[in-house]
Amino acid sequence: MISRSWKKFLSSCKGVAVPGTLARLANTYAAPCTRTGARRVPAPAAFPRGTRLGEIGASWSRVLREESGAGEQSKGPCAGVCGGAGEECDSCCPHSPMLLPPWDHPQRTAAERRGKWWREKTMASGKAGASEPSNPATEPAEGSPDTSLVLLAVTEGFPPEISLFFSVESRSSRCLNSQLQEAARKKLWALESDDRDVCALFKELSARLVCMQAQEDRFLLTFRTLEEVWKFSTYLTLGYVGSCLEQLLFDQEYWLNCALMEDTEIRVTVDEDRLATIHMSLLLQEGNFFSRAVPGVWQPEQEGEESLQLCKNELIHVKNIGEESKWEGMSLLTGQRGLVPVTALDPIPHPFYQWFLKNYAVGFGISQEISGTTSQSIVKGRCTATEDHRGAAWDELSFSKGDSIEVIGFFIPGLPWFVGKSVSSGSIGFVPTRYISPEACEPLGKGLVFLSEEEKCPLLRIPRNGGEQHFTTLLSDLARTDITSVYRLDGFEPTAMLPKVPSEAVLHGCKDIQLLQSWEEINDLATTSTSELSSPGSDSAPATLEDVLLEKLDDFDDPKFFIDLNAGHMEDADVFDPILTFLNQDSYVPSFQSLYDLSFSFLNSTFYGFSDEDELVLYLETSRNWAKRTHSVWAHVRLCFLLGKLCIKKVKFSQARVYFEEAMSILDRGFGDLPLLAALHVNLASIYLKQNMKHKFSSLLGKTVALLVCLPGRSFSSENELEVMMYVLREAIAVGNAPLEARVCFLIVKLFLQLGKNDEVLPFTEHLQCLSTTLLSPDTSSVPLDAAPILSYLYDKKYLPNIALASARLFVPSGVKGAPTPIWRAGFILQNTSKLLGSQLERSSIPALACFYLKQALHFSCESRAVPIQRTLCAILSRMYLQHGVLDGAVCYAAMAVTLSRLMGEEEAFESSLSLGWMYLLHSQPGPAAAIMWQLLRSLHGTDSVTQGGAVHNLLAIALKGEGQVQKAAENYLRALHKAKETGNKRNQAIALANLGQLSLSHGASQLSELYLLQSAQLYAELQGSEDLEMELVRVLLWLAQAMVNRQRMEDGKLCYELALVFALKWHNVRGQLHITESLCHFYSKVSPNPQASITYHEHWVSLAQQLQDRELEGNVWQTLSQLYEALGTSEALRQSLDCTKQSLRIFIDLEETVKAAEAWLQAGRLYYLMQEDELVEMYFQAAIQTALKWENFSLAMDLYEKAGDTFFNGSRNRDRAVEFYRK
C-alpha cells in the first residue's frame, strides 16, 4: 500500500516542474496509470501457479483450485498502485519490445538526458508528434514540492517490483516463434510448481524473484540493494539475461537441432525508466552518492557562507545529514564542502560510476587538465599545426603553423598533450593539442575505436588454467574409451536408458552438408605432414609486446652482470665499465625490457651473484656514483630508475621519489627510450598521488597521461600505475570524455589481469564490454573488443555457471591469431553446463546444449587440418547423440571418426572401428556391425592381442545373436570368455557370462540362464565396487530377476529387482532408478500383485519423473497411481485417488493433452460420485465434455457422454441423470 504522504505528494506534483532527476521520479508516479497498447495484467486478480484453466472456463478453474488446495495467489504488481483498475501502469510494463539501452553517459547534461528519455518514450508509445517537455532544470523553482515528501515517498511508498517479459524470436525473420514460445511457456508452467531453479538463476543474475506468470510470459522481480540493480542492468545490457533464460526454458531437442538453435533467441524486455527509477530511489535511501549540479535552481550567494558554490554540471559527492531541504556536498573540482539544496541535485544515473567514484576516491579534486569531448574519436597518423609554438622545456616539440606532425601512438581528444614527431625535422616531443588540427588524422580502424590491433589479442588470451590447452585436454579425456579392453553387455550402455528423442528435425542438423563435403577431402590429408596434423592453432604464438600474463622472455642473449662487492673492486672504474656501457645506450633496446617490466625480472635475468637485495642496491648505488663521475647520463637515469623501483618494492616511497626526481632532473633527451620516459613519469606521478602532493602531481599529470594512455603496447612497470589510471578514469567520467574512459578502462583491465586480481578486474571488464558493445559502437557488427572470453573465465572463477555459460555462448571467435578458438568455447561450455546441472563432466553425461558449439569446433579443426582434434570431436558428438537417443547421429559421427583414425595409425583406427560397430549394435543394425567385427578379427590374425580379440569376439557374438545365428553367437561368447580367463580379467569374464545368460534367457532356457547370471553376479561381487561396475551388475540383476520370475521363483525375483534398485540409489543414478522402478511397478501390478507395494513404487516413479522434469511421464504415472488408489475402495484411498487425478489433470492441461485432460476430468467426476459428493459430479463431467468440444473432437465428446451416463446408470444413486447424458 502507498502511504498517505506519498499520495499527497503525487497529487501535489501533477503539473509541477521539479528540477533534476527527482522530477522524473515524481512525474513517473504522478502520471496516469493507463496507456494505449500496454500488456494487460488482471489486477488485483490472482495469478494461477502451475495451471492453465482459463481456456475451459473460469468456473472450472475456480472449482479445481478450490478443491485441490492449490492456487496460491499472487497480487498483480499494480494492485494498490493503479487502484485496481485492471490495467498495469507504465512503471510495470515496457513501452516497447526492445532491450534496455545503456545508461545515459555522464557527459550529457541533465537536459540532454531528459530530452532523449522523452523522445524514446513518445516513439515507443506511437505519439511521434508529442512535444518535448521543457527543461525543469532551467525553469524557476517556484512551486517545487517539499523535499521531505520526496524522500518520504521513496523510503515508504515506492513499489520496487519490475516486470521482465520474454519472447522467443527468429533471428532471420525477427518474428515471434509461436511454437517455441508455447514450449517455453509450458516449461515455465512446470517450473511454477517448483521454482527453486528459477530463484537460483535470478539470484545469480542479482535479482530477487517475486513470482512467475507463465500466461503473461513474464517474471516479476525486485531489488533491495544498489549492487543488485547495477549487476542486473549490466547483465541485461550484455545480453546475458536472455541467454540464461534459453538455458532454463529450452529442452534437449531444441539444443540438438543446431539450425533452429542458431536462428532463435530469447529477447527480454523491461521498463528501462522504471529500472533507472528504482536505482535512483535506492541512491536516495542510502543518502550517499554522486551528483551533478543543476544550475539556475538556487542563488548560492544568498544562501549564506555554508552553501557550496557550484558550476553547471559540476560533480558533487553528497551525503544526507538529516536536514529536509539541504544535504552536505563536496565538489570534486575544488574539494570544498558545503550545503547543497536537494532540488539542485541530478544524481549520476549509471550504477558503475556511482560504485567507482565511491570506492576509488582520491585526496584532492579534479585537475582540469583533461576536457570533455562530444563527437571526436581517437585517431592516429599525421596532423597539422594551426599555430606557431616554441617548446618551454626540452621535452616539448617546437613547430610552425602548417607543419605536419606525425602522431606517435594515439591522439586522444580532450588530453592536453600527445607525443609527436616533426615530419620536417624528425624531432620527437610533447605536442600541445590546442595548437594542432586532427582533421587529417585517420581513425584507428573498423572494430578498434580505443585500442590497436596488437593490443587486442593479448587481452583475449585466457590464463593457462582456463585456456586452449586445458580444454583440448578435457575434450581428449571425454573422447577416451575403454572399448578395446572392456567387454560390453548386450544392449547395455549406461546412457542407453535415456529416452529417445524424435530425431527427424535433429538429424537434419546432424547431417550437415558442408561438413560431409569436407570429409571428402580427408583422403587428401594423408600426405600432410605430422606437424600439420597436430593441433589447431599450434602455430599461434604471442605477436605483441606483452601478454595478459607476461611471457617468459628469451634472455639467452641478454647481458648478465656479476655482483662483486670486494672492497678493492668497488673503487675500480673498470669493474663498472660493462654495466655503464650497457645502460648508457641512448635508445631503447629489447634487453631493457627486463629492467622496466612489472615483475622485476631483472633481479634474475640481468644481475647475479648477490645474496640479498641489499647487496644489489649497494652495487647499483656504486654504479650510479660512477655514472655521475663519468657523466654517463643515460646510465645515470636508468640506475636511478632501478633504485627507485627497488624502493617501491620495499614500500619506501619517499626514497623512491628522490631517485625518480633525480632521474627526471638530469634527463634532457628521453624520447629515444619512450618506455623509460613513460615509466619514470607514471611511477613518479603515482608517488605524488599517494603522498597527496597535489601541486607536483598536477604539473606532471598532462604529460604523464599522454605517455600512459597514448602509447599502444606499452609495458606496465609498477602496480602503482593503477592509482594513476584510476585518477584519470575519474577525470574522464567527471568531464564526460568517453574515448578516454574506454581507453583507460582497457588499460586497467589489462593491468589487473597481469596482477592476477580477478575479483577487482571483473567490474571494469564488464564496464569495458558495455562500452564496446553499446556506447562506442553504434554499428554492432564491429565491436572494438569482445571481452567475453575473459568475462567467462572470471565468472567461472566466481562460480556463476549460468552467467559464465551465457557469456561463452555469446562469444563469437574472431579468427584473430592468439585469440580463443571455437575449441576453447566448446570445452568451456561443456565444463560449465555440467556445473549448471550439478554434476561432474563425464563421458556418460555430455549435455545437449554443447551440440552446436562442438560442431563449430569441428568445422574450425577441419579448416586447420587438425586431424587428432577432429577425431576427438567426432567421438564426443557420437557419444552425445547416443546419450540423447539420436542413434542415427551417433552412427554418423562414429563413422567419421573411423575415417579420420585411418590417417593417424592402426591403434586409433581399431578403436574407432570397434566403437562404430558398437553404435550399430545399439542402433539394432547387426549386419554392418558383424561386417566390421569380421574385418577386425582378420586384422588381429597373427598378433598376440588377447584382450582386443576378446572384445571383438564379444561384440561379434552380440551381432550374430541379432542376426539370429544363436549357435555362432554362443561360440563367440565362449571364445571371449576363454580370452578373459586367459588374461585373468574378472570383469570381462562376468560380462561374457552375463551375455551368455541373456542369450539363454531370450531363447527360453531360463535354468541355464540363471546359472550363467549367478556366476556373473558372483564375479561382480568379488570386484571393487565402482559406479560403472555396479551399474553393470544392476543390468545383470534385472536379467536374473526375469529368469527367476520365468521359473516362478517370485521371492528371489523380487529380491533381485530390489537389490538392483539399491545399487542405483547408492550412486544416485536417476535414469537407472527409473528403469528399475518401472520393472518393479510391473512386477507388483501384474506378475505378483501387491497393491500397497505397487503404490509405493509408483509414488517413487512420480518423484523420479519430477527430478527429470518429464511432465508427460509424471502425468501418466499420476493417472496410474489414481487407478491403484481407487482399486483399494476405502474412503481415504478414494480421496488419495482424487488428489492424484487432479495432479495429472493440471499437467495434461498445461501440456494441452486434450484427450488425457478430458479423461482426467471424467475420472475426477467418477471419484466424486463414489465419494457421494454429488454436487460436483456433473460439473466435472461437463468440464470433460467441454474440453473435447473446445477442440472439436466430437467422437471423444460422444464417448465422454456415454461414460458419464454409465457412471450414473451403473451406480446406486441418481440413475435418472444418466438419461440426460445418453440423449446427447
Element (H, E) at 106: none
- What integer is the mean pLDDT of 183-210? 90
Q: Tell me, what's the pLDDT at 1049?
A: 93
Q: Tell me, what's the pLDDT at 126?
A: 36
Q: Give the cell for residue 504.
A: 527427424
Q: Tell me, what's the pLDDT at 194?
A: 79
Nearest to 146 by CA among 254, 277, 8, 271: 8
User: What single DSSP character describes residue 713?
Assistant: T
Q: Which residues, other chains included, contact 833 with Cβ-Cβ below 8 Å and sequence gap of 6+? A: 801, 805, 841, 847, 849, 850
Q: Tell me, what's the pLDDT at 451?
A: 78
Q: Tell me, what's the pLDDT at 1108?
A: 84
Q: Are 264 and 174 in contact (CB under 8 A)?
A: no
Give 559-563's long-range contacts (Cβ < 8 A, gap of 24+): 559/591, 559/606, 560/605, 560/606, 560/607, 560/608, 561/606, 561/607, 561/608, 562/607, 562/608, 562/609, 563/607, 563/608, 563/609, 563/610, 563/615, 563/616, 563/619
User: What single DSSP character describes residue 132?
Assistant: P
Q: Give the cell for residue 362.
A: 582520491
**DSSP strands (E only) in 772-915:** none
Q: Are 263 and 171 in contact (CB under 8 A)?
A: yes
Q: Rounded CA gap, 1092 and 1098, in Å?
A: 10
Q: Rounded CA gap, 466 and 461, in Å?
A: 10
Q: Rounded CA gap, 1089 and 1081, in Å?
A: 10
Q: Tell me, what's the pLDDT at 677?
A: 94
Q: Tell me, what's the pLDDT at 455?
A: 78
Q: Tell me, what's the pLDDT at 533?
A: 47
Most confident of 259-273, 372-386, 520-534: 259-273
Most confident of 76-90, 149-163, 350-364: 350-364
536-573: per-residue pLDDT in tens?
Answer: 444 443 333 334 333 443 444 568 887 877 655 667 77
pLDDT band at 1098 (very low <50, low <70, confident <90, very high): very high
Most confident of 104-108, 199-203, 451-455: 199-203
Q: How many CB atoms lie within 10 A of CB 284?
A: 22
- What integer is the mean pLDDT of 634-651? 94
Q: In what order do the strands lie in the sheet with 162-170?
A: 208-213, 218-222, 162-170, 264-269
pLDDT of residue 390 exceeding 90, the answer is: yes
- What integer is the mean pLDDT of 1092-1101? 96
Per the prediction, the chain carries an average pLDDT of 80
467-476, 513-522, 1018-1027: least confidently modelled range: 513-522
pLDDT of residue 56 exceeding 80, the answer is: no
Element (H, E) at 290: strand 288-293
pTM to 2 decimal places: 0.81
- What integer is the mean pLDDT of 566-588? 81
Q: Tell me, what's the pLDDT at 21?
A: 40
- What integer is the mean pLDDT of 70-99? 36
Q: Are 788 and 808 in contact (CB under 8 A)?
A: yes
Q: Tell me, what's the pLDDT at 611?
A: 81
Q: Can you give the three-state secondary structure of 19-68, one letter per residue? A: CHHHHHHHHHHHCCCCCCCCCCCCCCCCCCCCCCCHHHCHHHHHHHHHHH
- What integer is the mean pLDDT of 434-449? 82
Please state, for a pLDDT cut of 70, what percent of the chain lies above it.
Answer: 78
Q: Rounded CA gap, 1057 and 1041, in Å?
A: 6
Phi and psi at 446, nearest 5°, equal -60, 130
User: What single DSSP character describes residue 597?
Assistant: S
Q: Give the cell for residue 21.
A: 532527476
Higher pLDDT, 776 or 1215: 1215
Phi and psi at 107, nearest 5°, equal -75, -15
Higher pLDDT, 42 or 1190: 1190
- What integer is the mean pLDDT of 1103-1129? 92
pLDDT band at 115 (very low <50, low <70, confident <90, very high): very low
Q: Give the cell for residue 83.
A: 487502484
Q: Tell me, what's the pLDDT at 73?
A: 37
138-147, 202-211, 686-695, 721-730: least confidently modelled range: 138-147
226-244: per-residue pLDDT in tens?
Answer: 999 999 999 999 999 999 9
Q: Rounded CA gap, 1148 and 226, in Å?
A: 43
Q: Tell me, what's the pLDDT at 633?
A: 93
pLDDT of residue 64 exceeding 50, the answer is: no
Higher pLDDT, 707 or 466: 707
pLDDT band at 364 (very low <50, low <70, confident <90, very high): confident
Q: Tell me, what's the pLDDT at 696?
A: 93
Q: Rounded CA gap, 446 and 455, in Å?
A: 14
Q: Give the cell for residue 20.
A: 533534476
Strand, coil or helix: 304: coil
pLDDT of residue 962 exceeding 70, the answer is: yes
pLDDT band at 5 (very low <50, low <70, confident <90, very high): very low
Please state, for a pLDDT cut of 90, what percent of the chain lies above it.
Answer: 53
pLDDT band at 728 (very low <50, low <70, confident <90, very high): very high
Q: Tell me, what's the pLDDT at 1100?
A: 96
- What integer is the mean pLDDT of 1091-1102? 96
- What integer is the mean pLDDT of 829-834? 89
Cell numbers 534367457: residue:
1001
Q: Tell me, what's the pLDDT at 444?
A: 80
pLDDT of residue 71 exceeding 50, the answer is: no
11-20, 147-156, 469-478, 875-884: least confidently modelled range: 11-20
Nearest to 271 by CA among 406, 493, 100: 100
Q: Give the cell for residue 1054.
A: 523380487
